[in-house]
Each structure stands twice: as structure tokens, then as C-alpha cells.
Amino acid sequence: MIGRLNHIAIAVPDLDAAAAQYRDTLGADVGAPVAQPDHGVTVVFIDLPNTKIELLHPLGETSPVAAFLARSPAGGIHHICYEVADIEAARDRLVTEGARVLGDGEPRIGAHGKPVLFLHPKDFNGCLVELEEA
């Protein structure tokens, strides 16, 4: 059901410093910051030959990423995103298997302009999983 790894998301306390580190120290192709108000974050994507890194920074105090950084002030891996061909079919199969979809269970438009869902980390070895329709 899952396809390729789309990205690994890292929550960061200082978005500019993290982007500069990837650009200047690691020589990566770093995109511009993009606010995602529906998700409560500002994101920067780093393109790699085989996947992407998504740097996440809270957009407002009610952001889920703000809560994550309150628990882990230095930042850290927030979630991993896999592609699926049909997000609603994937959701239905996962729910049938006992997985919990976060939120209201309906796909929302993510940072790439495609439908996404998040799966409860307690159902996936402590890892928050994002599914994105490819």
C-alpha cells in the first residue's frame, strides 16, 4: 500500500538557522519558507536526490509543532511521510486494520498541494506517520 518515502519532517526552534545549516554546511538545495496556516506551521523543503527533508517551525502558539518543541526544545524528527496512490482507500484499509487516523479522518491539503492524513504514533512504533496521495 505505501509507496516511496516522500519526506522526513524535523521540527526546529530556529527555521532560518536550520535552513542555513543545510544550505551552507551540508550544501543542500534549500527552498524558501512557506507558511501553512491550516497546519499551524511554516515549512522549508530541502531537496535531496532520493527524498526531501521538511523543516517545521510553529506558526502561532497553538501549533502542534509548538507543543512538540516545548517537550523537545532542541527540535527533532517530527514525522515521516509516505506516498499512497489513493489516500481514501489507504485510510479505509488502515481503519479496518485498527489504525487511528488523527483529526476528523478526512484528508486535508498538505504542503505539496496534495491530500494528506496523519496516523497515530502509538499505532506505528511511536512514529507519527503522514500519508500523502501521490
Instruction: Enumerate the active-site residues.
Output: 130
Distance in Å from the first CA to the final CA of the chain: 12
86: which 3 cell numbers?
Answer: 489513493
- What does residue 65 show for φ and ψ, rounded to 5 degrees? -70, -30
C-alpha distances (whole Å) from 69 to each of 2, 10, 82, 97, 109 are 28, 11, 23, 31, 24
Mapped onto helix, strand or coil, the DSSP state of residue 69 is: helix
Q: Which of 35, 55, 36 is nearest to 45 (CA)?
A: 55
